[in-house]
Amino acid sequence: MTLTKRLSGEITDIRSIEFVCKSCGTSVSFNPAKWTAIVPSRCSNCPDAAKWTPTTDENIRQFAVLLTQLIKAEKDMPLEIRLDFELKEN
Ligand SMILES: [Zn+2]
Q: What tens digit of pLDDT does each residue of 33-83 get?
A: 888 877 788 888 988 777 777 777 788 888 888 888 888 898 898 998 898
Rounded distance from Cα 77 to ligand 1 centre (Å): 39
For ligand 1, the distance from its centroid to the CA atom of residue 29, given in whole angstroms, is: 14
Q: Which of 29, 58, 25, 31 is nearest to 43 (CA)?
A: 25
39: CB partners within 8 A, 6+ apart: 19, 52, 57, 60, 61, 64
Q: Which secondary structure element, helix H or strand E, spans residue 61, and what is its range?
A: helix 54-73
pLDDT band at 32 (very low <50, low <70, confident <90, very high): confident
Distance of CA 46 from the midpoint of ligand 1 (Å): 4
What is the Å distance from ligand 1's center to 51 Cα? Answer: 11
In our burial notation (b when 16+ CB lie closer than 10 A, e otherwise), range 41-59 reads eebeeeeebeebeeeeeee
What pTM was computed for the model?
A: 0.70
Check if the beta carbon of residue 28 is closer than 8 Å to that of residue 90.
no
